[in-house]
Amino acid sequence: MSDFITVLRETCPTPVLDATKWQRIGGDPHTVNLNAYVSADGSKIMGTWICTPGKFQVHYEKWEYCHFLDGYCVITPEGEQPVHLKAGDVFVIEPGMKGTWEVVETVRKYFVFA
């Protein structure tokens, strides 16, 4: 194996329930994190996130890449128009983004935090 390449083909992550640090502000959302990769220093994380309908107050401290596999949500940055996201969408959220994340239909997404 390479010191520079990590193959995740055989990864079987342990589900982590309701681990989000985001404040719930609507509904009764529940999350499942399946972290397939965490860097040695903990600064980079990659995996799958599943969330049932509800609304969170969010404040991003890290950059995030997302690829929605299922579901529908609305992310509204403070002072900006809502962004509607659905299955098939790929997007990036920059550090410093504050606002709300509302899951309308249960979401399943691949994510990378760096």
Domains, the chain: 12-111 (2.60.120.10)
Task: Note the pLDDT tens digit of each residue in 81-112.
Answer: 999 999 999 999 999 999 999 999 999 999 99
Instruction: Please report, for residues 10, 34, 56, 70, 73, the alpha-carbon distance to residue 106 in angstroms, rounded to integers and kept in the order given.
Output: 26, 16, 14, 7, 8
Q: Report residues of the chain scoring pLDDT below 70.
A: 1
d(CA 41, CA 103): 30
What pLDDT does residue 63 have? 96
Dihedral of the CA atoms 89, 92, 96, 97 (nearest 10)? -10
pLDDT at 11: 77
For residue 64, what pLDDT is reported? 97
The pLDDT of residue 1 is 57
How many other β-carbons are positioned within 10 Å of the β-carbon of residue 47?
19
The pLDDT assigned to 20 comes to: 86
Distances from the Cα of 20 to the Cαs of 4, 24, 66, in angstroms?
29, 9, 16
- What does the pLDDT read at residue 58? 97
| pTM for the predicted model, two decimal places | 0.89
